[in-house]
Structure 1
Amino acid sequence: MRGARLTTLLAALVLLGGAKGMDPVNPTCPAKPDWGPSTPMSLTPTDRGGKRVLIADGVVDASLPARLAAALSADERIEEVWLRSRGGNAKAGNAAGKIIRSYPGMVTRIPSGWTCFSSCNFVFMGGDRRFVEPGGIFMVHMFTYTGQRDVIDSAVKEGSDGTTQLIGEIEQLSALLASEDNDFLIRMGISRRLLTEIMYQQAATGGENNKGQRYCLSQDEAREYNVMPLERAG
């Protein structure tokens, strides 16, 4: 039922040409998302609106969990983590989310106009309380290791045996990550329906130029899947 509703919604938006400024190929999402720089995520403590916040801006890389732990440990006044990112390393995103959850009461926030995509979703989900501001974008796609296109291309040049072995390894890693995602969502209080009904319904091959592979949750959907809980997340 949910899949049929989703398909109908997307078809209607495409036929209508989408709202002004929306992506006609990914009609629930803005045409030009503000998901920050393509450099490793910077972590900047600052004061905003009388609160001490950590601005997390950029790509999720393998070093993020250690750097995030150090940043939060170094400033006990930090109350919130504000996120803007096009994603990156999926396992690092899970690990960073768990670090945030280890701080009771820590808030994660996607400010209006900012986009949190891909592995950034899992960093955000680590918040004990979570807020997607009106105009903030929680953008998802399926998580996969097949974005390692450069590695696959190299194996293709080496011959079919090497390629078959590599793709088999990638499939195993993808299955493992899917299991980790499911466990993570349960631990963070997110409905696992977010995976089955939304995330794993979007095809993904990695990279910021994907077409027809993104889905941006509405405010109602963010609440429906407990991405933005009405009460305390943890």
Structure 2
Amino acid sequence: MYSPRFIHCLVSITASIVAGTFLQSTTINSEGSFTNARQSQAQKVQVLSVEFPQQQVPIVRFPRDVYPEIKFSEITQPQIQVQANKHLTIITIPTSLLFECGKHHIAEKAEKALNQVSQAINNRYSGSWLQILGHTDSKGSSKDNLQLSEQRAVAVQQWLSKQHHLNVSMVTTQGYGETQPIVSNTRFDCFERAIARQKNRRIEIVIQKLDHQV
């Protein structure tokens, strides 16, 4: 399991879960005391309002003011972004480098990007916990997008394990579908919207740093 420090960092910085409140009020109309059954039966109980909690998806964000962008010598592809602070490193890979459109199998073209990322992880973060997060844009159904994001995260985990002997017991995967856009999918014209959607389709590898790692 993750260490308390990692859970605290990831939850406190990137997660916000908002639930509704359960409200129930009653009015009781009765006369006299409640000392006999007849008087008890005279009670009139009215439920005025009941609002049940609604579970919200945690908000996962890695803002640059908290996680500044840095460079790794192992990673030369400009589309791959690396951010880090004292506790976490986040490597963001556009899915266009890894998958064909709408697919979840690792494409042949992904080898260069994944080799560079794997080399950086092995050189710098051996023995660290990793979480691989999958994201899509908002095209298609939310159910299909969630499934695709989950499948892609698992595909990256399996590839790294098979090709570079990544210890899968140190890695978890999570798909968020279309729920965590970096840029709005809808507020722009067609050209800008296409660019926004491309940015939102991504894989994020979140690395918990050990105390001696920078």
Fold in common (TM above 0.5): no
Larger helix percent = 1
TM-score of the aligned structures, taking structure 2 as reference length: 0.38
TM-score of the aligned structures, taking structure 1 as reference length: 0.35
